[in-house]
Amino acid sequence: MSETTHTNYLECLLKSWSTKPTESLSWLSQLRARAIDRVSTQRLPTKRDEEWRFTDISSLADLPYQPSQPDSNLQVQDIAHLCVKEVKNRLVFVDGHYSSQLSTIIDSAALVIGNLPAFLSTHASILESHLGQYAKFDNNVFTALNTAFLRDGALILIPKHTAIAEPVHLLFIATQNEVTSYPRCLLIGETGSNVTLIEDYVALQQGTYITNSVTEINLAANAHAKHIRIQRESTQAFHLANCAVSLAHASNYQSVSISLGSQISRYNLDVRLTDEAAECTIDGLTLIADRQLADTHTCIDHLKPNGTSRQQHKCIVDDAAHAVFNGKIMVRPHAQHTNSSQSSRNLLLSKTAQVNTKPQLEIFADDVKCAHGATVGQLDQEEIFYLESRGLSEVAARNLLTYAFGAEIISRIPVTSLRQQLEQTVLNQTQSN
Amino acid sequence: MSAVLQSLVNQPYKHGFVTEIESDIAPKGLNEDIIRLISTKKNEPEWLLSFRLKAYQKWLTMTEPEWQNVHYPKIDFQAISYYSAPKPKKKLASMDEVDPELLRTFEKLGVPMHERAALAGVAVDVIFDSVSVATTYKEKLAEVGIIFCSISEAVQTHPELIQKYLGSVVPVGDNYFAALNSAVFTDGSFCFIPKGVKCPMDLSTYFRINTEGSGQFERTLIIAEEGASVSYLEGCTAPRFDTNQLHAAVVELIALDNADIKYSTVQNWYAGDENGVGGIFNFVTKRGLAKGINSRISWTQVETGSAITWKYPSCILRGDNSVGEFYSVAVTNNYQQADTGTKMIHLGKNTRSTIVSKGISSGHSNSSYRGLVRIAPTAENARNYSQCDSMLIGDQCGAHTFPYIQVHNNSAKVEHEASTSKIGEDQLFYFSQRGIDAEEAVSMIINGFCKDVFQQLPMEFAVEATKLLSFKLEGSVG
């Protein structure tokens, strides 16, 4: 793929942007203008870039690049099977565009929830101080693109000392092929708040399209958030996602991300522990087959003392699929008493499956406890033998162990019906004959 | 406790003296003429000159690598003298005729050049600046068919072996510094262990950089034929200069069926002063090819010196059932930077590799472990175990781990673990409770931390390494 094609790709994107009407709100248009500026100075990453060494996205440049247009003939019954029954507040975005008829908002008194444009005038100063502040686009062309095309987006603001019992569901549905959608999400947890957020990417049919999503999460002191992210796009789609999380004093962020779909998917998760005693738990499961490629890059940045982070990432790779994991843990100078652990475990189910994993530690403080581990391999022969000795056939034993490998991550999802649904998915995908 | 550790770490460099010796130095700069000059001076055959020129042409097209986690001013390759040799008075017939000034230098360094002084019976090849000055025990080794001499001598006496193996593991265009070395290498050690021979003694090379403004580019080639085995040691020191000196070496190991090569290094180049002025830039390419079935290559290194270390001793496990090992201790202090690790490339069936890496950083230094474990689709039942532990002393230093794990075969089993720790107050308290003072306690804890690696060193080297470490870290804990 030549350099010129890449430039053309981005140029075409920009051209399609300039035809859009400009917004009246100056800070927002400035933010967009800055992002456009950045896009024009960048190019699509290639395998020569260290961050993209194993993920070749050159085929992206061959795809149609038009931003998706709102086209919502979807009815509530079309998406009934995607709803999670514990959920009271649900925001639905069809190809990145907000659909008010599919969304249900019940607690509008307890929290601020809805589509971004609706709050531009009422919550201007809050939005200005958060939107685009965590997901930096200086060196990330996809975040820059998303910001440049920023229109609709989910906004969730949990007021001080408010706990929302029912999870909030963000449903991003792809219905059109050969388009790019730019989902955007901002979660602000004020002091002492507590929320569970489900971010769910689904497709209603097979097809090639691009999802370029950006999620920003800011938790103030003592705020808690559970973030469940499910990527079950069409297996021909491209999913490029960035999530930036900023944690204040003694806040707690727990994330479970499940990656099942897409031809090529890339998920960047950046968590910054900006004040003391912040905690985060990050779990991930990648379950892919055929010729899928799933790439997860995480960076946990300990900036202040007494932070805690735990991370477990698992990949189950079948057929000729390829899983990539890069987990970086930074411990900045003076972030003493940081306690951090990371584990990357990978299961290869076929001869042609591939895994590239790189757990990376960068430590600049001496009084810390940091450990990481990585394993790649097959199922343990002894475990299989044990199950066989209990009367299971070898195939049944393998299926059971493979399922259990993935189910460990699924079991951390705090929403019962969603957990059961995903357990079923993992079960179906791990049954071989 | 901090004062004790501080003084522990900040021992002065003992090998920083310069020997006043008349040297034959080539003019500074690098061009084809210099390469021809080196080749003529060494009376080399035509094919070796063209090997050098090919490497030089390749080098010109390459750019200096930037991916490593070290920072240093750009090297001016035209300001380096690529050839420096002690002026020979006349052809040497025996050890007694070696320049007494040189002998004194090596006595000061504790290198047993006199055969009678070689307690444990270690055969030594001594490289001073760019050339080999003496090799001991040659005849005794020749009796069993072992060739152990400087590489320039081997070019004259065994050109067929050199031509066959030189550049076969590290090709001329392998990387920037390897290409540079291939173009201008001046000397190094050559060792050939014929079929079925177990080398009766440890072989050793001692490297010394003496002249200011010169670079050292040596080349080591070790070949172990079917069923042969050898243990090889390498030591290095340099005088104290305020300018940085470049050391870009290439080491190639080749192990045929059932052969066994063990390569140990204690690297103690001058590391610069406490402000990071001066010191050696150590950019080294070391690679072993486990070519035959059941062959084994083992690297052990203790890296304490150099302002910058950039070195990844690697194993290509091509033969079925071959084994690769890497044991490393890297100690950095003051403003030293080390980016070191290994590559284990599994190609053959049932290949196994073990990586044990220990990094200790103190002062303002940074040490990185960068490793690659690659299981090719052909490597059935490959197995790897890696462990890399870091210890930080003080809060100004950094420790980094960059392990790349690439698995393309599902029968492989790869494990990696890493941890970071410090010397805890409670550990020191426990020692003092037993009547052991902080200084000794620190030295014992560090030795315990490095034990897995030191165990792999030959006995004399293990003793030296232990001493070196306690000097190096004297006064740094606090």
Q: What is the pLDDT of residues A33-55, one digit of tens each?
A: 888 888 888 888 888 888 898 88
The percent of residues in chain A predicted with pLDDT above 70, rounded, is: 93
DSSP H helices in A45-185? 124-130, 141-148
Residue spans of chain B under pLDDT 50: 1-5, 8, 89-94, 114-121, 478
What count of Cα atoms within 13 Å lies in the side-chain half-sphere of residue A405? 29
Contacts of A373 in chain B (CB under 8 A): 415-418
Same domain, A178 and A52: yes
pLDDT at A42: 83
Same domain, A68 and A191: yes
Out of A275, A300, A316, pick the residue that ends a domain: A275
Name the residue with higher pLDDT: A294 or B458.
A294
Decide if A354 is inside a domain: no
Decide if A396 is inside a domain: yes
| DSSP 3-state of A148 | helix
Same domain, A267 and A392: no
Same domain, A259 and A403: no
Decide if A349 is inside a domain: no
Give the nearest partner residue to B404 out of A334, A358, A362, using CB atoms: A358
Concatenated DSSP letters for B35-89? HHHHHHHTT--HHHHHHHHHHHHHHHH------SS---PPP-GGGSBS-EEEPPS
Per the CB < 8 A criterion, the answer to whether A257 and A231 are in contact is: yes
pLDDT at B15: 67
Name the residue with higher pLDDT: A134 or B450.
A134
Out of A275, A298, A315, pick the residue that ends a domain: A275
ipTM: 0.80
| Number of Cβ pairs < 8 A linking chain A and chain B | 111
Decide if A47 is inside a domain: yes
Condensed to tens digits (0 to 9), the pLDDT of residues A296-312 reads: 999 999 999 999 999 99
Separation of first and last alpha carbons in chain B: 5
Same domain, A260 and A390: no
Per the CB < 8 A criterion, the answer to whether A230 and A146 are in contact is: no
Same domain, A43 and A179: yes
Contacts of A356 in chain B (CB under 8 A): 404-407
pLDDT at A1: 37
Same domain, A269 and A386: no
Confidence of residue A205 (pLDDT cuts 50, 70, 90): confident
Most confident of A140-154, A221-235, A362-376: A221-235
pLDDT at B68: 78
A377 touches chain B (CB under 8 A): yes
Out of A257, A275, A293, pick the residue that ends a domain: A275
Average pLDDT, chain A: 89
Determine the distance from the C-alpha atom of residue A223 to the mean position of all C-alpha atoms in its chain, rounded to a whole number.
Answer: 20
pTM of the model: 0.84
Decide if A429 is inside a domain: yes
Burial B302-323 (b: 16+ CB within 10 A, else e): bbbbbbbbbbbbbbbbbbbbbb
pLDDT at B393: 84
pLDDT at A401: 93
Confidence of residue A3 (pLDDT cuts 50, 70, 90): very low
B401 touches chain A (CB under 8 A): yes
Same domain, A392 and A262: no
pLDDT at A115: 93
Say yes or no for a CB contact (<8 Å) between B410 and A348: yes
Residue B227 to chain A, least CA–CA distance (Å): 32
Mean pLDDT of A238-262: 95
Contacts of B422 in chain A (CB under 8 A): 366-368
Residue A263 has pLDDT above 80, yes or no: yes
Contacts of A372 in chain B (CB under 8 A): 401, 416-418
Contacts of B394 in chain A (CB under 8 A): 366
A374 touches chain B (CB under 8 A): yes
Backbone angles phi, psi at A323, to 5 degrees: -110, 140
Domain range for A387 is 381-433
Total length of chain B: 478
Decide if A226 is inside a domain: yes
Determine the distance from the C-alpha atom of residue A215 to the mean position of all C-alpha atoms in its chain, rounded to a whole number.
Answer: 8
Per the CB < 8 A criterion, the answer to whether B294 and B187 are in contact is: no
Same domain, A45 and A170: yes
Decide if A291 is inside a domain: no
Query: Lowest mean pLDDT: which of A12-16, A83-87, A272-276, A409-413?
Result: A12-16
pLDDT at B89: 44
Number of structural domains chain A divides into: 2
Closest CA to B101 of B6, B12, B17: B17
Decide if A138 is inside a domain: yes
Same domain, A241 and A385: no
Condensed to tens digits (0 to 9), the pLDDT of residues A59-108 reads: 887 776 677 888 768 888 888 888 899 999 999 999 999 999 999 998 77
Confidence of residue A8 (pLDDT cuts 50, 70, 90): low
Same domain, A208 and A61: yes
